[in-house]
Amino acid sequence: PTGWTGQAEFDVAAPERDLDPRACGDLLADRVSAEPIGFQPGRAELTAAGAKAVASLRAVLIRCQARGLSLALRPDSPSGADETLARGRAATIASALADARSDLRVQPGLAPAGGGPALRLEVQP
């Protein structure tokens, strides 16, 4: 009303780690399917959309109680060149996600070529 005054106070604090590993894994899977991680053609560098997708995953990991995360990226084919590229891309994602928390271990690897998801994330309690 007219003549009233107020005062607001804000406290900035790190988000609590309140997500159990199962919920964390489900949220990560949802984010990966909603925002695929894109790379520059033939390179292990993220596109702008890919960087945004990784930032979305990092936001989940900040709140996750898990101690570790393994990720497996599927190469386009079983050829040596595709596997090398997939390893580089997995390392790029792992490096970006490891920055989310200093106590989080992120282990990159390869998923079998062919079927299955292009990126598989497994949360380790």
What band does 45 get if pLDDT is binned at 50, 70 and 90?
very high
CA distances from 69 to 7, 43, 47 (A): 43, 23, 23
Q: What is the pTM (predicted TM-score) of this model?
A: 0.78
Mean pLDDT to the nearest integer, 38-62: 92
pLDDT at 43: 93
Cα angle, residue 51 at apex, residues 42 and 117 outer, rounded to 5° = 65
Please say if the pLDDT value at position 14 is more than 70. Answer: no
Tokens of 62: 């900040």
Contact between 68 and 106 (Cβ < 8 Å): yes
* DSSP codes joined into one string, 36-47: PPPB-TTSSPBP
